[in-house]
């Protein structure tokens, strides 16, 4: 069947269709997917994979395209009657269809993609029925596609929706970036390359590269595409795609393509069109995460209704030999402060160095840090780590994943160091002083309060199990032996295995405390808390309207050892009264005699500064201005704007009390400038100078539509529907009903722009 090329049916520029999510791929009670079995073809060879490991979840499909949708047959095809061969296993199914393209307009593209990826290292068996239209001069066909982008879309027309499939990105040379594979059911001859293309309806194995769309010998160089009779015959045709995965992930598998050419629902002799060896691993450049799969369709200058239904999917995972992982040594050296490497030996049937994946963890992350594992060849790896401390045992776990996704875990133990000082403190001081141990440098640092006598301090310390400690020749007992810590001391810790480690203990005086002179908290009697600006050295506090400031008692907090004075008068927290009529300067003096001044300002608002009234509110930007009605008792503001006014971004003009401010949801409002969405009530919070607040709720209503026209009138209950002719100038409606129709009790269907009829 030769069809003359149609210039208008050439693929247009690549386009990307806005994604439309639907809840499932097929609908309707006519199909019970949980009970569907794969219908085996009459000529099913015994070498096909047996079985039904899982049935694909039909809720996990995305349907995209301007006209693509999920529907029943009757609502999809409309005036296109579809017949079903009684031998078809889905002949009674009139629901659960995905419409990919319609008959009008042209240049449509429709796509139905699985939401989850399929592992090409597993066998699969996919069955469906496709409808390629009723117009023998139509276009362009349907394709079954494997690809790597969940919502990909390709070109229309001769591209069948899969040409140039990509996610919008390109390679450096401008070519599309993502690989894919398609089985096309092409119903329109586009001419061009002499690479196995036919001038008749045909089925071909294709890749999706834009320049290869007419090259039908990419995967079947000997025969190219397979010609079939007219398949735009108004019938549903069964299709089946059987993939037998390769024995190794990088090898070639076998793809069988079955097509019910006469649309009778049964596979007959000659319906197995392809039995082809394919290396999909190379095509998809090692997509270890699998591929998305589904169906595409397109139209161009010519078109057809094209749809898919009755999908059943089964998979048989390929067998896999689990990897073997061992680690040597089982317990590497355990001294802290150094990096270590454990050698891991790997064994697997088909995993290269780059394909190994590792996850390395520990049950004691405070002991083991900088932990990682990397393959150094196909049969070995190294685990590197640093021991950050000496206390506690740590186990390192290595989980290895091979190219087939199989995992295995091994582990090894890091024992505690035997010559370790793990804790050191002066618990006799108040408060106790805890030492900081640097296990890498083997040092202990402590800072005691200024003025502490470091001669005669008794430390409390913890050693590794079985270890002892000495300073010189003198044995040290935790909590008993005193020493002069005015200078650094070296503790030698000897383990039960006779190994030792020296730790240098340094005890410092807190000299910073001698010059500390910070006023860190301030409040007045009555519980009024001030705000302290440590940069400006100011203290600000506001009392309620009418409060007395002539004699108030302050409660404050100073640096340890510091004192406070006002002039020459010493100040005692929670005891000394002062007059705060004017700003008062507190001088904070440190132990070393240095000082810092803080200026305390107490404010009492006037009566006017307590006001928080929103006295006017309008939309001055509308024409005419819309002025709000303020109910001061209810604290509400009501406005009615003209019909058709957008409420999503209106600036309000308003007036609040002197010194007051307004916010909406914490956002400062500027009268006549700040916009808000008045589609629902908006609350304005008015804050007075004294920080008291009042909320006003603003409600905006849109006026009713002033239009009052009848725009449509019909008797939909008649068959066919009788539609009226409206003369808007004369305000008349004329209808002609079939002869014999009773007009005494007709029900009319009409549309108006008014509020009521």
**Angle in degrees, CA 26, 99, 110, rounded to 5:** 110
CB 313 within 8 A of CB 290: no
Structure tokens at 516: 């500390």
**Angle in degrees, CA 541, 547, 550, rounded to 5:** 85
In this structure, the answer to whether residues 136 and 241 fall within a common structural domain is yes
- Cβ neighbour number for residue 702 with a 10 Å cutoff: 15
Measure the CA–CA gap between 603 and 584, rounded to whole angstroms. 12
CATH code, domain carrying 176:
2.60.120.200
Identify the pLDDT of residue 1: 34
Identify the pLDDT of residue 499: 77
**Which of 463, 483, 509 is at the close of a domain?**
509
Paired strand residues for 191: none
CB 559 within 8 A of CB 516: yes
Has residue 277 been placed in a domain? yes
- H/E stretch holding 421: strand 421-426
In this structure, the answer to whether residues 32 and 123 fall within a common structural domain is yes
Residue 65 has pLDDT above 80, yes or no: no
State the maximum Cα–Cα separation within the chain, in Å, rounded to a whole number.
127
The residue ranges of DSSP E strands in 331-390, in sequence order, are 339-347, 357-362, 368-377, 380-387
Has residue 6 been placed in a domain? no
Burial label, 115 (beta-carbon count in 10 A; 0-12, 13-18, 19+): middle
Residue 749 C-beta-side C-alpha neighbours within 13 Å: 8
Do you find a cis peptide bond into 720, omega within 30 degrees of 0?
yes
Do you find a cis peptide bond into 724, omega within 30 degrees of 0?
no
**Euclidean distance between the first and the last CA atom of the chain, given in angstroms as a whole number:** 60
Give one word for 97, left, alpha or beta, with left for phi > 0 and alpha for psi -120 to 50.
beta
pLDDT confidence tier of residue 217, bands split at 50, 70 and 90? low
In this structure, the answer to whether residues 503 and 642 fall within a common structural domain is no
Identify the pLDDT of residue 171: 47
pLDDT (tens digit, 9 = 90+) per residue, 346-400?
Answer: 887 667 788 788 888 998 887 788 888 888 888 888 888 887 665 567 888 988 8
Has residue 8 been placed in a domain? no
The predicted model scores a pTM of 0.41
Most confident of 180-189, 222-231, 324-333, 655-664: 655-664
Measure the CA–CA gap between 236 and 309, rounded to whole angstroms. 9
Measure the CA–CA gap between 361 and 369, rounded to whole angstroms. 10
pLDDT (tens digit, 9 = 90+) per residue, 118-171?
Answer: 878 788 888 888 999 999 989 899 999 998 776 667 778 777 888 877 555 554
Residue 700 has pLDDT above 50, yes or no: yes
Identify the pLDDT of residue 591: 87
Has residue 560 been placed in a domain? yes
Mean per-residue pLDDT for 32-59?
32
Measure the CA–CA gap between 117 and 125, rounded to whole angstroms. 15
Identify the pLDDT of residue 230: 94
CATH code, domain carrying 337:
2.60.40.10
Structure tokens at 735: 């209808």
In this structure, the answer to whether residues 52 and 150 fall within a common structural domain is yes
**Which of 576, 602, 628 is at the close of a domain?**
602
Residue 11 has pLDDT above 80, yes or no: no
Burial label, 534 (beta-carbon count in 10 A; 0-12, 13-18, 19+): exposed
CB 677 within 8 A of CB 649: yes
Question: The domain containing residue 464 runs over which residues?
Answer: 421-509
In this structure, the answer to whether residues 170 and 213 fall within a common structural domain is yes
CATH code, domain carrying 483:
2.60.40.2340
User: Strand, helix or coil at 659?
Assistant: coil
Contacts (Cβ under 8 Å, ≥6 apart) of 262: 229, 235, 268
- H/E stretch holding 314: strand 306-316
Instruction: Determine which of 139-153, 227-241, 662-676 has the lowest per-residue pLDDT on average.
Output: 139-153
Residue 196 has pLDDT above 60, yes or no: no
Has residue 287 been placed in a domain? yes
Choose between 34 and 622: higher pLDDT: 622
Has residue 7 been placed in a domain? no
- Cβ neighbour number for residue 502 with a 10 Å cutoff: 12
pLDDT (tens digit, 9 = 90+) per residue, 99-133?
Answer: 888 888 889 988 888 877 787 878 888 888 899 99
Identify the pLDDT of residue 104: 85
Choose between 749 and 321: higher pLDDT: 749
Mean per-residue pLDDT for 287-310?
83
Mean per-residue pLDDT for 476-493?
96
Contacts (Cβ under 8 Å, ≥6 apart) of 553: 524, 525, 574, 575, 576, 577, 578
Burial label, 641 (beta-carbon count in 10 A; 0-12, 13-18, 19+): middle
In this structure, the answer to whether residues 194 and 102 fall within a common structural domain is yes
Mean per-residue pLDDT for 22-39?
26
**Which of 360, 388, 414 is at the close of a domain?**
414
In this structure, the answer to whether residues 397 and 531 fall within a common structural domain is no
Burial label, 545 (beta-carbon count in 10 A; 0-12, 13-18, 19+): middle
Identify the pLDDT of residue 38: 28
- Cβ neighbour number for residue 376 with a 10 Å cutoff: 13
In this structure, the answer to whether residues 455 and 345 fall within a common structural domain is no
Mean per-residue pLDDT for 730-750?
92
CA distances from 180 to 285, 290, 741 (A): 10, 12, 60
Identify the pLDDT of residue 141: 94
In this structure, the answer to whether residues 487 and 376 fall within a common structural domain is no
For every residue of 63-117, DSSP letters joined together read EESSS-EEE-HHHHHTT---B--TTSTTTT--S-EEEEE-SSSSS-EEEEEESS-
Has residue 12 been placed in a domain? no
Has residue 207 been placed in a domain? yes
pLDDT confidence tier of residue 456, bands split at 50, 70 and 90? very high
Residue 529 has pLDDT above 90, yes or no: yes
* Mean pLDDT, rounded, of the chain: 80
In this structure, the answer to whether residues 167 and 251 fall within a common structural domain is yes
pLDDT confidence tier of residue 195, bands split at 50, 70 and 90? very low
Residue 181 has pLDDT above 70, yes or no: yes
pLDDT (tens digit, 9 = 90+) per residue, 235-261?
Answer: 989 999 999 988 877 788 999 999 999
Mean per-residue pLDDT for 253-273?
93
In this structure, the answer to whether residues 598 and 693 fall within a common structural domain is no
Q: What's the structural domain count of the chain? A: 6
Identify the pLDDT of residue 92: 43
Structure tokens at 258: 């079955």
**Angle in degrees, CA 493, 498, 504, rounded to 5:** 20
- H/E stretch holding 292: strand 292-298
Identify the pLDDT of residue 213: 59
In this structure, the answer to whether residues 65 and 192 fall within a common structural domain is yes
Mean per-residue pLDDT for 406-416?
81
pLDDT (tens digit, 9 = 90+) per residue, 426-438?
Answer: 999 988 999 999 9
Measure the CA–CA gap between 76 and 73, rounded to whole angstroms. 5
- H/E stretch holding 409: strand 407-414
Structure tokens at 54: 């899982």
Q: What are phi and psi of 159, to 5 degrees?
A: -75, -10
Contacts (Cβ under 8 Å, ≥6 apart) of 574: 553, 554, 555
Share of the chain above pLDDT 90, in %: 44
């Amino acid at each position: 069947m030769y069809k003359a090329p149609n210039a208008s049916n050439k693929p247009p520029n690549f386009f990307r269709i806005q994604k439309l999510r639907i809840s499932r791929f097929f609908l309707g009670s006519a199909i019970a997917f949980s009970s569907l079995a794969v219908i085996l073809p009459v000529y099913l060879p015994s070498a096909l994979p047996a079985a039904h490991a899982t049935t694909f979840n039909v809720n996990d499909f995305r349907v995209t395209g301007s006209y693509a949708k999920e529907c029943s047959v009757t609502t999809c095809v409309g005036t296109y009657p579809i017949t079903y061969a009684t031998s078809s296993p889905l002949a009674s199914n009139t629901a659960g269809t995905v419409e990919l393209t319609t008959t009008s307009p042209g240049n449509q593209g429709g796509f139905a993609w699985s939401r989850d990826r399929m592992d090409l290292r597993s066998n699969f068996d996919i069955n469906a029925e496709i409808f390629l239209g009723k117009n023998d001069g139509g276009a362009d066909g349907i394709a079954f596609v494997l690809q790597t982008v969940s919502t990909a879309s390709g070109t229309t027309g001769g591209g069948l929706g899969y040409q140039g499939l990509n996610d919008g990105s390109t390679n450096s040379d401008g070519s599309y970036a993502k690989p894919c594979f398609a089985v096309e059911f092409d119903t329109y001859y586009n001419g061009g390359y002499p690479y196995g293309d036919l001038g008749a309806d045909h089925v071909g194995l294709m890749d999706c590269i834009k320049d290869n769309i007419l090259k039908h010998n990419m995967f079947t160089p000997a025969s190219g595409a397979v010609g079939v009779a007219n398949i735009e015959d108004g019938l549903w045709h069964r299709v089946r795609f059987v993939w037998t995965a390769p024995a190794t992930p990088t090898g070639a598998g076998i793809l069988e393509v079955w097509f019910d050419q006469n649309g009778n629902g049964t596979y007959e002799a000659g319906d197995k069109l392809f039995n082809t060896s394919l290396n999909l691993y190379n095509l998809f450049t090692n997509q270890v995460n699998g591929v998305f799969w589904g169906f595409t369709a397109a139209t161009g200058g010519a078109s057809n209704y094209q749809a898919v239904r009755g999908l059943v999917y089964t998979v048989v995972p390929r067998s896999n030999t689990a990897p073997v992982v061992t680690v040597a040594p089982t317990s590497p050296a355990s001294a802290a402060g150094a990096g270590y490497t454990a050698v891991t030996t790997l064994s697997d049937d088909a995993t290269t160095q780059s394909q190994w994946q590792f996850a390395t963890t520990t049950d004691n992350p405070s002991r083991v840090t900088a932990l990682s594992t990397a393959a150094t060849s196909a049969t070995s790896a190294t685990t590197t780590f640093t021991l950050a401390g000496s206390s506690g045992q740590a186990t390192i776990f290595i989980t290895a994943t091979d190219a087939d996704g199989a995992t295995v875990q091994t582990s090894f133990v890091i024992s505690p160091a035997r010559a370790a000082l793990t804790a050191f403190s002066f618990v006799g001081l108040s408060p106790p002083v805890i030492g900081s141990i640097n296990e890498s440098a083997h040092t202990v640092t402590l800072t005691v309060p200024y003025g502490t006598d470091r001669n005669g301090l008794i430390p409390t310390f913890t050693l590794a199990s079985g270890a002892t400690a000495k300073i010189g020749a003198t044995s040290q007992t935790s909590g008993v032996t005193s020493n002069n810590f005015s200078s650094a001391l070296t503790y030698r810790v000897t383990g039960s295995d006779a190994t030792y480690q020296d730790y240098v203990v340094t005890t410092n005086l807190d000299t910073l405390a001698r010059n500390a002179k910070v006023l860190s908290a301030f409040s007045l009697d009555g519980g009024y808390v001030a705000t302290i600006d440590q940069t400006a050295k100011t203290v600000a506090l506001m009392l309620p309207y009418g409060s007395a400031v002539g004699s108030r008692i302050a409660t404050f907090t100073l640096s340890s050892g510091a004192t406070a004075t006002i002039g020459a008068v010493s100040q005692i927290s929670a005891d000394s009264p002062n007059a705060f009529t004017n700003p008062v300067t507190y001088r904070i003096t440190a132990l070393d005699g240095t000082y810092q001044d803080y200026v305390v300002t107490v404010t009492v608002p006037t009566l006017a500064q307590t006001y928080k009234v929103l006295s006017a509110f309008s939309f001055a930007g509308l024409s005419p201005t819309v002025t709000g009605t303020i109910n001061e008792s209810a604290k509400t503001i009501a406005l009615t704007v003209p019909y058709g006014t957008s409420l999503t971004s209106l600036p309000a003009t308003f007036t609040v009390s002197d010194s007051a401010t307004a916010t909406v949801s914490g956002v400062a409002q500027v009268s006549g400038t700040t916009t808000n969405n008045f589609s629902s009530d908006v609350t304005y919070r008015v804050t007075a100078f004294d920080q008291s607040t009042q909320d006003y709720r603003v409600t905006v209503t849109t006026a009713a539509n002033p239009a009052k026209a009848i725009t449509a009138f019909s008797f939909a209950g008649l068959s066919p529907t009788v539609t009226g002719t409206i003369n808007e100038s004369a305000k008349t409606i004329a209808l002609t009903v079939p002869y014999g129709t009773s007009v005494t009790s007709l029900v009319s269907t009409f549309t108006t722009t008014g509020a009521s009829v």
